Amino acid sequence: MTTTRSKDRQGYRMKFGVLGPSTNTIVQPDFDDLRPRGVTNHYARIHVDNAQAVSNDSFMAGAWKISEMTHDAVRRVLTCEPNYLVMGMSAVTFFNGAEGGRKWREQVEDVSGLGVSTGAEAVVAALETYGGIKKVAFVSPYFPTANAEVKNFLSDYGYETVRDVALQRPSWIAIAETTEQDLRAAFHQLEGDDVDALIQVGTNLDCMRFAAAAETWLAKPVIAINTATYWHALRRNGIDDQIDGFGRLMAEF
């Protein structure tokens, strides 16, 4: 979709409408930290209660509930006349494979009339940009059923998941309380010579800086979904600013 430049005093290059669950406390500060000068983020919260995601079934039900509420949040954020939408939630964008992810994005585009960057498609774009990646491993705050959806999505694009870790966080709020020690343990489980790249999914997981640091000592791509999603939105709109401190994706590509 065609994107027009903004005349907004602060968002004179781009006004992004950002959609995220009302329980998500990580994606908003992450996206603001990645924001170049002249780009502004305008956050619309998708109303959701702090579901106690204590099983495969309840996690999936909660994720679909967020999906059902997304279009209402889209309509709210449109009142500030953004130029483009960025999804600050990722689970449902992986569901039902590549075709399901595409249809989900297109539904949001139909409601908004704007282009949309989703976490799932941004991760694939990042993998393609790094190049030479065939086998991956990933960590999520999800439950195993949702991890299976991520594996299926990646498989549709030709990527083999060698290993994955589902942290099975007990609630939406608890995702943002995941410790660095938890992340370190997960990355140790994922890493191996049989893996070309590591991925973190789940936008309420505080992993952006940890992933950037891990990339330096693992000497292979480590992709945090918040970084990938915002990078994708910038590049889709011709904003090529290279920003240090958040991994090679933002600094080099």
pLDDT digits (tens, 9 = 90+) for 101-118: 999 999 999 999 999 999
- The amino acid at residue 26 is I
Number of Cβ within a 10 Å radius of residue 210: 17
CA–CA distance, 47 with 184 (Å, rounded to integer): 31
The single-letter DSSP state of residue 79 is G
pLDDT number for residue 64: 61
- Domain harbouring 41, CATH code: 3.40.50.12500
Weakly modelled stretches of the chain, pLDDT under 50 = 2
pLDDT number for residue 49: 83
Contact 208, 201 (CB under 8 A): no
Cross-strand partners of 223:
199
pLDDT number for residue 153: 98
pLDDT number for residue 246: 97
pLDDT number for residue 68: 76
Ordered alpha helix ranges (H), the chain: 27-33, 56-77, 91-94, 97-112, 119-130, 144-156, 172-175, 180-190, 208-218, 225-236, 248-252
pLDDT number for residue 230: 98
Which two structure tokens, joined as six digits, stand for 217? 């000592």
Domain that holds residue 24: 1-253
Calculate the dihedral angle through the C-alpha atoms of 236, 120, 81, 14, rounding to the nearest 10 degrees.
-30
Q: Which are the contacts of 31, defined by CB distance < 8 A and separation ≥ 6?
A: 16, 18, 41, 86, 88, 226, 230
pLDDT number for residue 10: 97
Cross-strand partners of 46:
21
CA–CA distance, 80 with 44 (Å, rounded to integer): 10
- Say how many domains are in the chain: 1
